Amino acid sequence: MPRIVGVDVPNDKSVWIALTYIHGVGKFSARRILKEARIEDDVKAGKLSEDEVSRITQIIDREFIVEGQLRRQISQNIARLRDIACYRGIRHRRGLPVRGQQTQSNARTRKGKKKTVAGKKGVKEMR
């Protein structure tokens, strides 16, 4: 397995797919990196030479925020939103959807398992 930016990428996949295993590199970015490094998209990751791997690593280090640094930056951004108590920060704090999604009938992923609340029992009127 070639090691790119501290991540083991799979040998048997095409290079552009293997690069997406790096947190912060998607399909579009992977293709852009390979174009700049002058490497074919369909080459298997295991067939890359040391020179090609180092070119890819240099491009990623120079132009992208990836892996631990990106995760840290995202968590700091969320912490900042929580601290200033803006709407998005409050939604993060409560574990609800942040981007305006409907919550009355959906959002089970964010809200978790249903918490059934007992309804009022029918009280019979006495006359």
pTM, rounded to two decimals: 0.77
Q: What is the mean pLDDT of residues 58-80?
A: 95
Does residue 46 sit in the same domain as residue 77? no
42 and 91, same domain (yes or no): no
- Does the structure show a pLDDT above 70 at 108? yes
80, two tokens? 């900042």
Q: Is residue 84 part of a domain?
A: yes
Average pLDDT on 11-32 reads 94
Q: Rg (Cα) of the chain, in Å, rounded?
A: 24
More confident residue, 4 or 79: 79
Specify if 116 maps to a domain.
no
Residue 106 lies in a domain: no
Is 58 among the domain residues?
A: yes
In this structure, the answer to whether residues 19 and 59 fall within a common structural domain is yes
Instruction: State which residues form the domain around 46.
Output: 3-64
Least confident of 19-33, 59-73, 111-125: 111-125
